[in-house]
Amino acid sequence: MKVVVSLGGIFFSDAESIKKIASVLEELAKSCNLYMVTGGGEIARERIKIARDLGANEAFCDYIGIAVARINARLLISALKDAYPEPFSDYKEVAVAKAAMKGESAKIAVMGGVSPGYTTDAVAAILAEYVNADLLIDVTSVDGVYDADPRMYSDARKYDKLTPKELVALTMKEELKAGSRIVIDPVAAKIIERSGIKTIVIDGSNPRNILDAVHGKHRGTEIA
């Protein structure tokens, strides 16, 4: 089973949190062909804000987010015993590296950001499409997709299930600026729609939720 996991930048604030996630990922890699994509989180947003205040345009700010996401990819690689030593910056290189192992290795491929105009959720969706993944898991700081940001609106309603079309309709209302605070960005939603890859959005505060999601026992939002 091929699984792509998009891991939000929030999980990279200290060594203990990264170690806990790495140990779950190593367990998962024993039975799955695992591909990881790391986000930039608050550090990316802070640095983007400074650049914007200095007059940088959105594409320039996006490159700051990409760089921070790649730093987090290096942090994850530092914590994993059997990962490719460098973060990948190209989808094709990941597929070629994995194909060279002929499925014999549990080596985990890690990517950060790739190009301006989207977030690492879209990177994960494109990677999932390119490698024909069976499952895409978006690990975030909220426990699923809501009709409004639950951190700001206490009456926000969570969706247990969404069709890709419904996800696209929801995310198209969002503003796509560098560092936008959105659960899934609209580019990711469109890729999920066109590829038809089953996607699950879960809360990563307990990393074992990732294993549960692979085994179909999640409490997040399923997009299929």
Residue of 33, 119, 171, 195 interacting with ligand UTP (CB under 6 A): 119
In the complex, the smallest distance separating the C-beta of residue 113 from ligand UTP, rounded to whole angstroms, is: 3
User: Contact at 8 Å (CB) between 148 and 18?
Assistant: no
The residue whose Cβ lies closest to ligand UTP is: 65
Which contiguous run of DSSP H or E holds residue 210? helix 208-214
Stretch that binds ligand UTP, among 86-94, 112-120, 196-204, 213-221 (CB under 6 A): 112-120
Distance (Å, whole) CA 38 – CA 110: 7
Q: Between 41 and 87, name the residue whose CB sits nearer to ligand UTP.
A: 41
Place of tokens 């806990």: 20
Cβ neighbours of residue 51 closer than 8 Å, sequence gap 6 or more: 60, 61, 64
Distance (Å, whole) CA 191 – CA 106: 27
Chain positions 181 to 200 lying near ligand UTP, rule: CB under 6 A, are 182
Q: What is the CA radius of gyration of the chain?
A: 16
Burial of 105 (0-12, 13-18, 19+ CB in 10 A): middle
Q: Between 39 and 220, name the residue whose CB sits nearer to ligand UTP.
A: 39
Q: How far is CA 163 from CA 82, 116, 168, in A?
A: 35, 27, 9
Q: How far is CA 109 from CA 82, 89, 99, 177, 213, in A?
A: 9, 11, 12, 28, 19
- 36 lies in the binding site for ligand UTP (CB under 6 A): no
Stretch that binds ligand UTP, among 23-31, 64-72, 148-156, 208-216 (CB under 6 A): 64-72
Residue of 34, 88, 120, 214 interacting with ligand UTP (CB under 6 A): 120
Residue of 51, 69, 192, 201 interacting with ligand UTP (CB under 6 A): 69
In the complex, the smallest distance separating the C-beta of residue 178 from ligand UTP, rounded to whole angstroms, is: 3
Stretch that binds ligand UTP, among 25-33, 99-107, 118-126, 144-152 (CB under 6 A): 118-126
In the complex, the smallest distance separating the C-beta of residue 87 from ligand UTP, rounded to whole angstroms, is: 12
Q: Between 57 and 115, name the residue whose CB sits nearer to ligand UTP.
A: 115
DSSP 52: H
**Residues at the site binding ligand UTP, with contacts judged by CB under 6 A:** 8-10, 39-41, 44, 61-62, 65-66, 69, 113-121, 123, 140, 178-180, 182
